[in-house]
Structure 1
Amino acid sequence: MTTYAALLRGINVGGGKKVPMAELRALMTALGYDGVRTYLQSGQAAFTARHGDEESLAGELAQAIGKRFGFPVDVIVRDHAYLRAVAEACPFPAAELAAKQLHATYFSAPVDAARFAEVDQAAYLPEEFRLGDRVLYLYAPDGLGRSKLAEHLSRPRLDKGVIATSRNWNTVVKLVEMTAGGA
C-alpha cells in the first residue's frame, strides 16, 4: 500500500464549500482508503490506498466529494516520496523562515516554465519564487495575503485542466510527516 495526501482546493474558506473533516474522513473510508487522517479545516487528508495512482485517486475523490456535498472540488493527490522531495528541494532557507513567509503551490500537472519566464522578479523583491517538479515555491516575507507577487503569479490562468493549490510551509512539513508511516 502507498501513503498519499489529498489536497482539496478552495474548501471551508469564507463560508463557502463547507466540507466537515469528519465527513471527509468517513467518505474516504467508504471509498476503501485506510488510515484516513485530516489536518486543519482547509482540506488536507493523509491516507493509504491499495489501488489506483495519484491521478485516478484524485478523480475518484473529487467525484465522490461532488456527489456527497453537491459542489465540485478540485483535488490533487501526491504520494509521500513526492511530498518529501518537494520539502527537501526547497530553494529557500525554510528552517530560518516563518511558515507564513514560505508557500508551496502544488500543480496537478507540469507547468510550462515559459509562462513564468516573463515575470520581472526584481520588481517584486524581496518576494521571490522558484519552480520545481509540479510545484512553485514562493517566498513572501509579509505573508501570502499581502503578496503582490502571488497576485501576479495567479494570472494568467494555467493551462486548461491544470489545478493549483497553495499551502504554507507548516502544512508542507506536516503532510510529509503524516504520509511517512506507510512510505
Structure 2
Amino acid sequence: MHYLVRMTSTRYAALMRGVNVGTTKRIAMADLRAAFEAEGFGNVRTLLQSGNVVFDSHEPVDADRIESLIERATGSRPRVVLLDAARLREILDENPLAELADDPSRLLITFADEVPDGAAIRRPSDDELLPEVVVFGRHAVYQWLPLGVSQSRLPAGFAKALGATATGRNLRTVQKLLALLEEP
C-alpha cells in the first residue's frame, strides 16, 4: 500500500533593497524567477520590477540564503527583507496611518530587520515634516507622503539610519504582495 505524504510549505516574500532603482543594480525579473526555481522553490512569482519575489519553500529560509542565491544568479547582492504572510498581515494591521492615507501609492511602508526607536533617529520635527507624517511601528516605519515621495521632507540619509536591510514599498504594492502570499 502506498501512502501519499503531503508536504506543507511556507510562502515567503523577498523584498530586495535598491533593485532596479535608477541605473544601478539592474536585475531582470525573469532571471530571478529562474534562479529561485533552480534552487527548488515553488510557485515563484515576481511583482513589478522593484525586486519583489514571492515563493514557496518546504523548509525554513533566511535572508542570507536568498541574498546568496541572487548573487550567484545575477552578480549583484542586494539586501533582502524576508516576510511570510502572517508577518506582512501583522504589519498591515498595525498601520497607524491607514485612516489618514487616502491614496495607497503615497503611503510608504519601510520594512527592516529591526526597527529602531524613532526618538533615536535624527530627523526634522513632526511640525517641520507637515504635511508628511512619519510613525515608527514595531515592525515597520509608516510614512504618509501626500505630496509624493520626491517631495519628502526627510533627509536622504533617513532610510540608511533604519539599517542596511531597510526597504520601502507603497501600500498598493504591499497589498498586492499580501494577496500573493495568501493565495491558496
Contact 1:99 1:170 in 2 (8 A): yes
1:12 matched to 2:20? The reply is yes
Counterpart for residue 76 of structure 2: 71
1:168 alignment partner, one of 167, 170, 176: 170
* Structure 1: 4+ residue segments shifted above 4 A: none
CA deviations over 1:126-168 (Å, ceiling 9, x no partner): 111111122000001011111013646336x345xx4110101
Give TM-score, length-normalised by structure 2.
0.86
Structure 2 regions of 5+ residues with no counterpart?
Answer: 1-8
**More displaced, 142-151 or 125-134?**
142-151
Q: Which has the higher contact order (CA 8 A, sep 6+)?
A: 1
1:181 partner letter = E
Hey, which of these two has a bigger chunk of helix by percent? Answer: 1
Percentage of matched positions with identical amino acids: 32
Structure 1 regions of 5+ residues with no counterpart?
Answer: none
2:80 partner letter = V
Contact 1:3 1:181 in 2 (8 A): no
Give TM-score, length-normalised by structure 1.
0.87
Counterpart for residue 123 of structure 1: 128
1:32 matched to 2:43? The reply is no
Q: 1:23: Cα distance to partner?
A: 0.9
* Structure 1 vs Structure 2 CA RMSD: 2.1
1:42 matched to 2:50? The reply is yes
Count of aligned pairs:
176
